[in-house]
Structure 1
Amino acid sequence: MHNSAFKLITIKEVKSQYPFLLDHEGFDYFEEWEDQDFFLVSNEDVIYEGDFYLDLYEDKEKKWLSNLLNLPLKEIEKTRIEGVLINGNFSVNGTIINAEGDYGPYIFINGNVTCQSLLLGGSYVEIMGNVKAKEMVMTSYNHGNFKCSGIIEAPVFIVEDHYTTFGERKNDLFYYNDKANDYDSKNDCEYDEEFDEDSISIELRKHLENPLIATFEELKRELERGELVLRQSNPQPKTYEYWQNRVKSNYRDLKVVPPQFKTKELCELALNNTFHALPFVNEEFITAEVCEKLVEKDGFAIQKIPSQFITQELCLKAAESGTLISLIPHDFYSEELILTTFKNGKHQPDINDVPSEFITESLLEEYVKIGKGLWLDKACKENGKDKISILKRVIDSEIINLDAVFGNHFSKEVFEYAASVYDNVQNEAEWNKYVEKYKHKLERIGL
């Protein structure tokens, strides 16, 4: 049986035809389904060619579903599908994929499941029979649940921070379950200082077709693509064009590109997309010119630049391009650099990120002029500065700065001082505009 096995039926009909589901915890787990919403249902065994996608809320999967059901995409887009029910066995020659870790539809399979691999994330999945995978069963992230009443049989079985329960298991290559902690210690993860993350064990890596895969996240990305991942499966050799397409769609995949394909051209392709690819670029391809180009394009790139290429000039370029002062090494701080960062930043400047030795009155004055100065009071108290004196000097500098002062630091004392400076014939027109603009604040303080 192929695609025609599936039909969309309302949740009201599901409750009527399959009343036993009402006793299952995962059925309408959050009690937010509507009777007019839908389930994808097959009342018989299903044999499917290719990868089968469970993330039915996502745009890509909606296109896949429209082809599966031979329905217009517009109709699928306006249809709320809350679950998948297969009242029989489910056989897929590809991978069953629930890649989204935070959420997913409810899945109930009243039979056995066979597949290439099974990847589960945020869905609540119940399988009443056995699961047999050619390569791998992997469940990941604690927003999901997986209950298998039978045997999970797969060369590799990984439970990574996921609520997974099962009757029995048969896994002859590798087993890891950090929820149950019932696995061999040699299968445990190890901390990778270079990338500041846990890396998978050597025991698992030696079974993988690509030994550069070092984390569960990287392994998940392979499964999301429906790839064969085990060496024993003898998958088809990859080409340069294959890796080029991978890197185009996700810069992180540059990290797992085999050396023979990881060319300067490929690294440049990744860097043209985002500076975040820089840690995965070969050292011989990283030059001062490359770093400067990245920082000029996006000041936030400074956080990824290797220390040997960071200079005062490069930090200033980052500040001019827009970045956070906290991303720049303290050794290169100066008042000019801090103010340039504040003036060109995409976000409100945070004075809390500035070391106390740079908190001068002139810096605080410019801080008030630049933006909201949200932390002015705190910065003054912590560094022994007089807030009112700073605001008065800002007022003295130009009448145009009254917006910054009145808008964010309004008080009777501040207004009266501003009036003493600008409430005169010379500034009458401009002063009256500010009085009108802030009349509601004036009324609140009785002026």
Structure 2
Amino acid sequence: MNKLGFELITIKEVKIEYPFLVEREGFDYFEEWEDQDFFLVANGNVNFEGNFYLDLYEDKEKKWLTNILNLSLKEIDTRRIEGILINGDFSINGTIINAEGDYGPYIYINGDVACQSMLLGGSYVEIKGNVKAKEVVMTSYNHGNFKCEGLIEAPVFIVEDHYTIFAERKNDLFYYNDKTDDFDAKNECEYDEVSGEDIISAELRKHLDNPLIETFEELKRELEFGELILKQNNPPAKNYEYWHKRVLLNYRDLKLVPKEFKTEELCNLALNSSYHALPFIDENLITVEFCDKLVGKDGFAIQVIPDEFITKELCFKAAESGTMLRLIPEEYYSEELILLVFKKGKHQPDINDVPSEFITESLLEEYVKIGKGLWLDKACKENEMDKLSILKKVVDSGIEYLDTVLGNHFSKEIVDYAFSIYGSKNKEEWNKYVQKHNVKFERLGLKY
């Protein structure tokens, strides 16, 4: 037991001491708990200072839990915690955070909850009483469940693709629920074709302290940090050091940085993490040299380079650095560029990315030599080319290509042809390939 009243007890003990839990739907929902696993239990009301983290499987939260339970990290790691039970009211001056959308422990609170905000994701959460939040109650992603038998009172209440059930609600500023569609039409999101994002309603954005927040994902990240987000609550001002830390943790947060703090240093910090930060960079920082350096570091960065900076030379640099053909504008395609992408790529060459006007026998020959030629059949049929003729030319190019031909395009016809070329004059090498692919030879009853 600790000063907050929490203790770890086994599930076997939970079943004995709190038998009402066993009948709850969320209790051992997937029927995979063991009696020797644990619950974090507080048998009575809890008053808590700071944020309360529900993602007890994660490393950061385990470190947080060491302070709650006065246990070492090693001791925490040896205990599998499947749930949290608060057998009473739960009052907290921070945010209740279940940031992980895919999973989380089972949570049962046998009373009322009062908090700054509450963010729920993949956990199965049941609250017997009412929930009163100073700012936001948000549930997100369809792997989670939330059942509140009482009133949810919060200025902002958002249900985003989540199984959320409640008896009543009171939300003065904003309500959105895409599972029930029982909200005001003006609160609906708008799809942005340029970014491919659902942009949150202007009705919600007008209440946010940071006007740069545009999506629910961005809003969730604020809640994950336990931030005050509503104008009406006068959130504390944030300085450069704060934003430096945020961007260091997640390059996407560069988008949320106010103009006065978005320095070249901060932009470079984000780009060092990922080229995907480029759309959040101020336009005056993007130069030819800047793009050249970015693509030279990672060819996949070509996909975020503004059109006005893309040149033939930059496309070749992207190919040299390793990229995918589909990321390069088609106007710059040539057989030379296509083959360079195939040779330098980090994955198997995909002939399906090549427009039909660039499909030639010479291109397909090189395609087979470079990789496995996985889609050679398809390419030949669609472009009315003879596959066997192409494979024969590959064989003619050198005995070293027999491995890829026999390994990926084995047939009696191509084996006969290869034998006619190398069976006598390179008998020793030929026999090595026969031995390596012996199973295929035996399957067709071929003997050489």
Whether the TM-score (by the shorter chain) exceeds 0.5 is yes
Match of 2:203 in 1: 203
SS at match of 1:149: strand
Match of 1:437 in 2: 436
Residue 103 of structure 1 aligns to which amino acid in structure 2? Y
Match of 2:164 in 1: 164
Match of 1:352 in 2: 352
**Quick check: 1:10–1:35 contact (8 Å CA) kept in 2?**
yes
Which 10-residue stretch deviates more, 185-194 or 369-378?
185-194
Match of 1:102 in 2: 102
Match of 1:318 in 2: 318
**Quick check: 2:2–2:70 contact (8 Å CA) kept in 1?**
no
1:294 paired to 2:317:
no
1:51 paired to 2:51:
yes
Match of 1:219 in 2: 219
**Quick check: 2:4–2:46 contact (8 Å CA) kept in 1?**
no
SS at match of 2:116: strand
CA RMSD of aligned residues (A): 1.3
**Quick check: 1:2–1:47 contact (8 Å CA) kept in 2?**
no
SS at match of 1:343: helix
- What's the % identity of the aligned pairs? 74
Query: TM (normalized to structure 1)?
Result: 0.97
Match of 2:392 in 1: 392
Q: Deviations over 1:147-195 (max 9, x none)?
A: 1111111111111111111121121111111212122221111122332
Q: Offset at 1:4?
A: 4.2
**CA distance, structure 1, for counterparts of residue 86 and residue 109 of structure 2:** 5
What residue ranges of structure 2 are gaps of 5+ in the alignment?
Answer: none
Which 10-residue stretch deviates more, 216-225 or 5-14?
5-14
Alignment of 1:366-385 (within 5 A): 366-385=366-385
Q: Deviations over 1:310-331 (max 9, x none)?
A: 1111111111111111111111
Q: Deviations over 1:234-288 (max 9, x none)?
A: 1211101111111111010011111111122211221122100001111111111
Match of 2:285 in 1: 285
SS at match of 1:32: coil
Q: Offset at 1:22?
A: 2.0
Q: Deviations over 1:370-393 (max 9, x none)?
A: 111111111111110111111110
Q: Deviations over 1:60-115 (max 9, x none)?
A: 11111122111121221232111111101111111000001111111000001111
Match of 1:112 in 2: 112
Q: Deviations over 1:340-382 (max 9, x none)?
A: 1111111111111111111110111111111111111111111
Alignment of 1:24-173 (within 5 A): 24-173=24-173
Q: Which runs of 4+ in 1 moved over 6 A?
A: none
Match of 1:23 in 2: 23
Residue 254 of structure 1 aligns to which amino acid in structure 2? L
Residue 359 of structure 1 aligns to which amino acid in structure 2? I
**CA distance, structure 2, for counterparts of residue 393 and residue 157 of structure 1:** 66
Residue 83 of structure 2 aligns to which amino acid in structure 1? G
**CA distance, structure 1, for counterparts of residue 96 and residue 151 of structure 2:** 17
SS at match of 2:61: helix
SS at match of 1:372: coil
SS at match of 1:198: strand
**Quick check: 2:117–2:134 contact (8 Å CA) kept in 1?**
yes
SS at match of 1:25: coil
Q: How many residue pairs align between the two structures?
A: 446
**Quick check: 2:2–2:69 contact (8 Å CA) kept in 1?**
no
**Quick check: 2:4–2:47 contact (8 Å CA) kept in 1?**
no
**CA distance, structure 1, for counterparts of residue 185 and residue 443 of structure 2:** 67
Residue 240 of structure 1 aligns to which amino acid in structure 2? Y
**Quick check: 1:295–1:302 contact (8 Å CA) kept in 2?**
yes
Q: Deviations over 1:209-239 (max 9, x none)?
A: 1111111100000000111111111121110
**CA distance, structure 1, for counterparts of residue 421 and residue 318 of structure 2:** 38
**CA distance, structure 2, for counterparts of residue 197 and residue 272 of structure 1:** 24
Q: Offset at 1:3?
A: 4.8
Q: Offset at 1:305?
A: 0.8
1:246 paired to 2:246:
yes
**Quick check: 1:291–1:309 contact (8 Å CA) kept in 2?**
yes
Cα 1:182/1:3, change in 2 over 3 Å: farther
Which 10-residue stretch deviates more, 310-319 or 215-224?
310-319
Q: Deviations over 1:110-129 (max 9, x none)?
A: 00111111000111100001
What residue ranges of structure 1 are gaps of 5+ in the alignment?
Answer: none
Q: Offset at 1:2?
A: 6.6
Residue 46 of structure 1 aligns to which amino acid in structure 2? V
